[in-house]
Amino acid sequence: MTGFMDVISLSAIFVWCGFQTGNFVQLAIAIARLWEPNSSGVGRDTAFHMADRQALTSLLSFNAGAFFGRLGDRIGPHKRSWLVLSTFVQVLLTMAAALVIWKSGQDNIAAKRGDRSWTNALTFIGLAFMSASLGIQGIVGKRLNTQFNATLVLTTVWVELVTDPRLFNIRQKVTTRDHRLMAAVALFGGAFVSRAILAQIGPAGTLCVGAGVRVLIAFAWIVVPGKPVPQ
């Protein structure tokens, strides 16, 4: 879902709704630009550009979604009720994003880099819903503390994968290595599928598909085996 959702925002405005490291660095560049001369060479570039506003919207919304995860700490981050509830909240946020993007009248993808297809107020709201949904997903994964919880920052997965002491031990099952590989493949697959769907039905329709997948994920938590209770 991380790859699936990120492709939608990246294809429209070249801003991540899940990978917040890039957005945070972009905001640092926006502040540093205050000391640079503008394109005419006279004065300074003090404008808060569209890309910077979208990056800030995504970052703040993502953190708001993650903050919502504090509720899970009260309920119990490993309890089935929280896992189902939090995933259904992600479904609602994804559906809300689809509706807002559709109503914005800018339900398309960018033709080329720098030519943003989402520019009006409604698309900012849609981006906020998308980012908040991944913020919730991020904290849920983090609290579960598995090899799959780092898909929002896949760099960690790559570093741990290539430094795994049993990386080349292909004759033996290595759970940590195999799960990291699965995480990377799943992220790539989600991004690939998302872009393929996006080219056919646009962002709003693709978000509806994503919401449907999240519904399946919510129901999947019901049948995932629980941890044995220590005696």
pLDDT, one tens digit per residue, over 148-185 is 666 667 777 777 778 777 778 777 787 778 888 888 89
Residue 15 backbone zone (phi > 0: left; psi -120 to 50: alpha; other: beta) = beta
Give the ranges where 76-174 is alpha helix by DSSP (H): 80-104, 121-144, 154-162
CATH architecture of the region 2-223: Up-down Bundle (1.20)
Q: pLDDT band for 41, please (50, 70, 90 cuts).
A: low
Among candidate residues 187, 166, 188, the one with its CA nearest the CA of residue 178: 166
pLDDT digits (tens, 9 = 90+) for 202-223: 999 999 999 999 999 999 999 9
Full-model pTM: 0.88
Tell me, what amino acid is at 181? L
